[in-house]
Amino acid sequence: MSQSQKSWYNELIKISENSPNYYPTKASHLRSVQALIADPYSQIHQLFIQEKGPLPKSKTFTTLSKDLAFYFSGCCPYEDFNPMPVGVILKIDNCYVSRALAWSTYENNAFFSNIKMTSFFTPGVHTVRIEPLNKNIIFDETSFINLTIIEF
């Protein structure tokens, strides 16, 4: 599913403004995102939009470019403080790409990634897989994942 450039950027701004303690996205980071999505040749794919349920999750997507940017985030239930971070690992074609994490507290069970850019993957069909960062954290029906891929 593709989303318009303006609505994707507005959603990122809304997330960072509504929860500044949990999404410490800096203005310079947002300007980088804005530059990517403002490019008329960029193609935006929203593979997971508040996708609920247990992990791991997989989907296929098709790219026309080898230059990709990834942004992903989510939330999982958490009852007690744990010295282990909560989050997910992003793999494409079974290759580690990045992770999104947060050190969970009583008030925070949200995790996010910085934008990850790569030219490693060739154009074509790919499989994205999101796995739990820690096997001790259980993703259930109240958990959700977001994943955006930008071709530039």
pLDDT, tens digit, 9 for 90 and up, residues 82-110: 667 778 999 999 999 998 887 765 555 77
Peptide bond into 56 cis (omega under 30): yes
CATH node for 5-151:
2.60.120
Task: Work out the average pLDDT over 127-131.
Answer: 95
Rg (CA), the chain: 15
Instruction: Evaluate whether 79 touches 144 at the Cβ level (below 8 Å).
Output: no
Q: What is the pLDDT of residue 51?
A: 93
| Long-range pairs, 117-122, Cβ under 8 A, ≥24 | 117/67, 117/68, 117/69, 117/70, 118/67, 118/68, 118/69, 118/70, 119/66, 119/67, 119/68, 120/66, 120/95, 121/63, 121/66, 121/68, 121/92, 121/93, 122/66
**97 C-beta neighbours (distance < 10 Å), count:** 19
Q: Between 88 and 135, whose confidence is greater?
A: 88
Give percent of the chain with pLDDT exceeding 90.
Answer: 25
Q: What is the pLDDT of residue 124?
A: 95
118 φ, ψ (degrees, to nearest 5): -150, 155
Q: Which residues share a beta bridge with 112? A: 73, 101
Q: What is the pLDDT of residue 24?
A: 41
Sorted by where each begins, the domain ranges of the chain are 5-151
Provide the mean pLDDT of the chain: 76
pLDDT tens digit string along 3-22?
A: 444 454 455 555 544 444 33
Q: Which residues share a beta bridge with 132? A: 88
Q: What is the pLDDT of residue 82?
A: 62
Instruction: Supply the pTM of this predicted model.
Output: 0.73
